[in-house]
Amino acid sequence: MNGFFTSFAKKIKNGVISLFENSFFSIICEKISNFYVKNVESGIITNFFTAYDKSDNAYEKISDKAFGLFDILLKPFRFIAAMTKNSKTVCALKSLCSNIFNISVRAFGLFALPWGVIGLTSSVIDYPGAVVCGIYMLLCILGAFCILCNRSISVLVNGSGLCGLFGIELSYVKEYKYSAILFVFTGLLAGVLSVFFGIIPVMAAIILFVAAMLAFYSPYFVTLMFAAVLPFMPTMVMVAGSLAIALCLVVKKVTDQHKCEIKGSVLNLYVLFMCFVYILGTIASVNKASSFKISLVYIAFIISFFVISKVIDSSKKIIYFISAMSLASIPVGLYGIYQKLTGFDNENTWLDSEMFEEIQGRVVSFFDNPNVFGEYIILLFMLCLALVFISERYSLKLVYTAALAVLGASMIFTYSRGCWIGLVIAVCVYLFFVNKKLLGVAVVAGLISLFFLPESIITRIASVGNLSDSSTSYRVFIWNGTVEMLKDFWMTGIGVGSDAFNAIYPRYAYSAITAPHPHNLYLLVLSETGIIGILVLIAVILVLFNKLLHVIKHTENKKLKIIAAAVGSAITGFLVQGMFDNVWYNYRVFLLFWIFVAVGASVYNVYRKEKSN
């Protein structure tokens, strides 16, 4: 039966391609491609982007020498670490974290059940409330269930039909032997502490401790979860997570008995410069207190680049990482569709209600603004598209195709014109590098779809550039005012954040229009950090594209090539939207941008590793 469907799908695919491969649009795309190959591919600009960057070798030599000197300062810490390295406690923690998926869930039951029993017993004497009692009851139920289920997490996951559908598989080794007495004792201790200090603080402390241990001994798993939960977590939780993971890696490196080294490319150096840019943006700020707080958030999120690019060191890890992010995008998109169906934003908060009367609300999902949601979709849509191409199982192709449909529908309901343009350009760039024939098919399909789109969408598309639209004229006035302001502050900028912008911008505002930011990424960076900031940002983007294009052109790993094209095209679409809005206005989207830069850096580092081997 599977063979029949496979054959039928191939026939449909070949029929569609043959229908369009000799069409006018396909011929035009082919001519453009041939022109690129003959006249552009061998040009100076393209060679700059695709040639092997010799500065990477120089960067590694300089960093090796610098950290060689740093090693001398680390000797006292490493001596202390060596003293405790072989202690029973440290060895037990290391073994526990390293084998977390091969521990029987019975061990967790032996921890949770005593905790819940003590809590319920104390509740009889001093009633703590329904919520706390409910948590204790849940601990008892989960504990009893886990005790009855004597299977490791890896066995449960690998045997699960749902996880099999998503292609999730954990490496399995011989089941880890644990001390039942130790888990019972720690459960009793947690129960006693909960009675005296409250269950919420104790649970928070345990979660933080476990997360720290996992980040220390299994940093890849923690960073994967960190990226996957991004849409659902508050900003400050993500800040704490980024700093905690980075701190654990630093401590691990300091206590390591081997010489410190930083593997990577010169891109690491430019990203580090971005941290210094925000420090300078705070020093030069007209509102230093506000800029200092915002800069700390920015720097904390930029630090995640170094963590992620460090721990993702193989093609398999890259695929698992982007798969986790893509699967997490499905509930995000579904929530956006739910908002549309239930009439979210019926008052048209983000629309010119007179010009777009037929549009009933714009969705935001877990974000605070439809444009921010659209920017998230641009990035995640391209990852899902790449996973459709590289997945070998049809069940996985179906899952990621469904994710594309959900995200695509949500993108339509954002009614964000800049995001629409950014996504279309991202898809075209991706197909240009991955499959030029499909690019022609996509262009034809896109033009045909215009005849079937609802009037509300056609009206929205047709309004691009129409100054009678209040949101368009609003942006144009802000851009003009920002340009006037930059004539006086182009060197250093006015400082990081909305408070600094609002302190100076009103003096230059056109038509007395005020705004929290310039509604343009490039004007934002210029206004906040001056000419140095925009030059460093351009350097980061150019060097990243340099690496990705080099991988696309030279790698023999097809999956790596497709991921490189997806990351590069996603960032391209994101930067296109940056011409129409401040895509860094939402902190979580700012973090997501640097996660994508880190994935791009990891793709290049893995390519170099595979090439050298």
Alpha carbon distance 57, 297 (integer Å): 32
More confident call, 592 vs 132 = 592
> Closest by alpha carbon to 517, among 492, 489, 482?
482
**How do residues 102-152 score in pLDDT, each as one tens digit?**
788 888 888 899 988 998 888 878 777 888 888 889 999 998 988 888 777
Domain boundary among 217, 234, 252: 217
Q: How many CB atoms sit inside 10 A of residue 51's CB?
A: 12
238 part of a folded domain: no
267-283 helix and 587-612 helix, angle to the nearest 10 degrees: 160
Q: Is residue 321 part of a domain?
A: yes
pLDDT at 158 over 80: no
Domain for residue 445, yes or no?
yes
37 domain residue, yes or no: no
Contact in structure between 309 and 547 (CB atoms under 8 Å): no
Q: Do 544 and 395 fall within a single domain? A: yes
Helix (H, G, I), strand (E, B) or coil at 340: helix
Same domain, 273 and 412: yes
Highest mean pLDDT among 139-153, 169-183, 477-491: 477-491
Number of H helices, E strands in the chain: 26, 0
* pLDDT tens-digit readout, 263-322: 567 888 899 999 999 999 999 999 999 999 999 999 999 999 999 998 898 999 999 999
* 3-state DSSP assignment of residue 522: helix
What does the mean pLDDT of the chain come to? 80
pLDDT for residue 2 is more than 50? no
> Do 319 and 175 share a domain, yes or no?
no
Tokens of 298: 């920015």
Do 276 and 213 fall within a single domain?
A: no
Q: pLDDT value at position 168?
A: 55
Does 418 map to a domain? yes
**Residues 172, 310: one domain?**
no
Least Cα distance to 454 among 407, 418, 405, 409 occurs for 409
* pLDDT higher than threshold 90 for residue 60: no
Q: Is there a single domain that holds both residue 509 and residue 373? A: yes
Region 370-387 average pLDDT: 95
- Asked if residue 279 and residue 179 are part of one domain, the reply reads no
Average pLDDT over residues 198-218: 78
Domain co-membership, 441 together with 510? yes
Residue 524 pLDDT? 94
Q: Could you read off the pLDDT of 243-270 as tens digits, one per residue?
A: 888 887 776 666 665 554 555 678 888 9
479 in a structural domain: yes
Q: What percent of the chain has pLDDT over 90?
A: 36
Residue 486 tokens read as: 């930059």
Tokens of 259: 């010489």
Residue 31 lies in a domain: no
Apex 316 CA angle, 313 and 318, nearest 5:
60
pLDDT of residue 466: 56
The residues that bridge with 104 in the sheet, in sequence order, are 152
Does 191 share its domain with 307?
no
Residue 299 and residue 168 share a domain: no
pLDDT over threshold 80, residue 9: no
pLDDT at 426 over 90: yes
Question: Amino acid letter at 28?
Answer: I
* pTM score over 0.75: yes
Helices (H), 490-557: 498-504, 521-554
pLDDT-derived band of residue 49, with 50, 70 and 90 as boundaries? very low
Range of the domain at 139: 85-217
For residue 185, is it within any domain? yes
pLDDT of residue 592: 96
Of the three residues 179, 201, 217, the one that is the final residue of a domain is 217
Q: What percent of the chain has pLDDT over 70?
A: 71
Q: Closest by alpha carbon to 413, among 501, 526, 334, 484?
A: 334
In this structure, are 212 and 319 located in the same domain?
no
pLDDT of residue 73: 55
Give me the mean pLDDT over the 498-524 stretch.
87
**Region 37-57: what's the mean pLDDT?**
51
Residues 533 and 432 in one domain: yes
Higher-pLDDT residue of 419, 459:
419
**Region 35-39 average pLDDT:** 52
**417: its two tokens:** 């014109």
Q: What is the mean pLDDT of residues 146-174?
A: 63
Which tens digits make up the pLDDT trace of 313-363?
899 999 999 999 999 999 999 999 999 888 776 655 555 555 455 566 788
One-letter identity of residue 420: W
Is pLDDT of 16 > 60?
A: no
Give me the pLDDT at residue 219, please.
82
Place of tokens 């791009």: 600
Which of 217, 233, 254 delimits the end of a domain? 217
3-state secondary structure of 152: strand
Q: How many domains does the chain have?
A: 2
